[in-house]
Amino acid sequence: MTKTRVRAALSLPLSVFLALTGCYAQDGATDPEEVRELAGGTRARQSREGAEEHLRSVVRAYDRKTPLTLGLVTLDDTCAGGAAEEWLSSSDDDRYRIRCTLRVSAYYGADPKRIGTVLEGIFTAGDKKPAAGGGAAGTIPFGHDDHRRRLVAYYEGRGPNPTGPGTPEPAQVSDPSQTLSWDTVRGDSPTRAEEPALPTAGDPPVSRHLREPASTTVADVRARHGMVFRLELSAVDYFSVSKDGRSVETWD
C-alpha cells in the first residue's frame, strides 16, 4: 500500500479501514480451480484450437511460399485468473475472471550468400493477397514497398544501406501482427537470433509450453543452413471472461 493510501486510511474509522483493507487483500481474485474449469470448457477449447491453427498457418506459409526452411517452432499457451480489485485503484487484470494468451515463434534456415534472393522471395509472397473471404490465416504481410526494394538491392550489392550511411545493418521487418528478423551477415560483430528459453513443464488446460522438434536448437538450424530467420507472431488473447460474466471474448 502506498504512503498516500496509508495517510487516507488513517483518517478513516478503524472499522471502515479494516473492512476496506480486507476487500483490498481478498475480493475479486479468481480461484485457481475456477481458472482450470473455465480453461477446460468447450468455448475455451474451441477458441484455443482456432487461434493455434491460425498462428500455425502463418508459420507454414513462410515455409511453403518463401525460400525459408522451417526448423523450429515454440508455443506458449497460458490461462491466467484475474487479480483482486485493489483498493482505490483499478487495473486491467482485475476486470476479468480468466484470460488465455497464445504466443508462437518460428525459426527458419536460409543461405546467407543468397539473402537478397531470400528477401525478394518473401516480399513476392507478401504481394499475393488472399482471395476474398479467405481470411487472414496463412498470409505474409510483407510485400514490396520502397524500403523493402532498397533492402533487397542492399543485400544484392546493388545499393546503399536503406536506413542511411553509417547505420547498423538492417535485419528486421515488422507490422502489428508479426516481426521477422534475421542474423546479420555483414560487419565484424554479427547479431544472431538467440535460443528460446527451454520450455517449462505445462499443466493443461491452464498452460502448455512446446518446442517442436523438442531436441532441435537454433544453433542446429544455423549449422544446417548457414543463417537463421526468426518469425515472432504477436501474442493472441484468444479467450477471456469478464468478472461480471457479461463479456466473453473468443477467437473468431
Q: What is the per-residue burial (b if ≥16 Cβ within 10 Å, else e) of 96-132? A: bbbbbbbbbbbbbbbebebbbebbbbbbebbeeeeee
Number of Cβ atoms within 10 Å of the Cβ of 243: 15
Task: In whole angstroms, give the CA distance from residue 252 to residue 248.
Answer: 12
Q: Tell me the DSSP string of 120-182.
A: HHHHHHHHSPPPTT--STT-------HHHHHHHHHHTTSS--TT-TTPPPP-EEEETTEEEEE
206 conformational bin, left if phi > 0, alpha if psi -120 to 50, beta if neither: alpha
Max Cα distance, the chain (Å): 77
Does the model's pTM come out above 0.75? Answer: yes
Res. 213 pLDDT band, cuts 50 70 90:
very high
- The residue that leads in pLDDT, 143 or 133, is 143
Beta bridge partners of 207: 78, 203
Assigned C-alpha cell, 128: 499475393
- Grid cell of 13 as nine digits: 474509522
Of 24, 138, 125, give the one whose Cα is nearest residue 84: 24
pLDDT tier for residue 89 given thresholds of 50, 70 and 90: low
Check residue 246 and give its pLDDT.
81
The predicted pLDDT at position 138 comes to 55
pLDDT band at residue 7 using 50, 70 and 90 as cut-offs: very low
Please state whether the peptide bond connecting residue 13 to the residue before it is cis, i.e. omega within 30 degrees of 0: no
Please state the φ and ψ torsions of residue 24, each to the nearest 5 degrees.
-60, -40
Query: Tens digit of pLDDT for each residue in 120-134?
Result: 999 999 998 764 444
- pLDDT (0 to 100) of residue 91: 60
40-54 residue pLDDT tens: 999 999 999 999 999
pLDDT level of residue 243 (50, 70, 90 thresholds): confident
Work out the percent of the chain whose per-residue pLDDT is above 90: 69
- Per residue in 226-236, pLDDT (tens digit) is 999 999 999 99
